[in-house]
Structures are given as structure tokens and as C-alpha cells.
Amino acid sequence: MCTKTIYTGVLHHPVKGHKLVELYDSLPPEAHKAIEAAIPGLAKKWKLEGNIIFRDYISELNNGFVEWRYCYEVGQKNMVRTEPTIFAMEVLHEACRRSGKT
């Protein structure tokens, strides 16, 4: 949701789709800068070290909405790790907050 909020706030029109990597890759440079600026403080909070590649976090969740929306109807799903998911959500929330879009 925050990925769409950032996109809408910068380009002033909504986007469609559920594949997070595609949405993330299509963000303008200004939005990527806001996301990158939010990472250091939250990485420290989560005790993450090294080079944080935010796209990797988004990749783990890429099809989550589609896969988990009707999980009871379909077979096995990809595993979603809780802590990286929360970290990604917090980074996107902070980027939205800093840009005044929340």
C-alpha cells in the first residue's frame, strides 16, 4: 500500500497491480531516494548490518497479495518471514511520512 501511496503522491495518479517489484521498479528516482533515506535508522532499529538492498526485501513479498488472498483455495504458498516484512513496511511507511503522504 505504501508503495502505491508513494507513487501516487509523486506522480499524482494511482497505479494498479499487486506485484511489488514491478511497482517498486517503476517508482521515480525521488521516491527511491525517500525509501533509501528511511533505511539507515530502521536498519539500526532492527539490528541489520551490511548493505541493505531494499528491493530484495520487496522481492520476498512480491506476489504475497495474490498468493495469500485466497490461500484457503489453493495449495502451498511461499513462506513470508515476519521480521523482514515488518522492516519493509516500516521503511515504506517512513518514506511516506517524510514526504507528507500519510
What's the average pLDDT block by block, 10 residues per block, for the chain (102 residues)? 51 62 87 92 92 91 71 63 85 84 54
Q: What local confidence, expressed as pLDDT, does residue 41 receive? A: 94
SS3 category, 74: coil
Provide the residue range defining the domain that includes 90: 2-98
Structural domain total, the chain: 1
- pTM above the 0.85 mark? no
What is the rounded CA–CA span in Å between residue 58 and residue 7?
A: 15
Closest Cα partner for 83 from 73, 95, 91?
A: 91
Q: Are 98 and 12 in contact (CB under 8 A)?
A: no
Q: What local confidence, expressed as pLDDT, does residue 79 receive? A: 64
- Cα torsion at 13, 102, 28, 26 (round to 10°)? -70
Q: What local confidence, expressed as pLDDT, does residue 40 receive? A: 95
Q: What local confidence, expressed as pLDDT, does residue 101 receive? A: 57
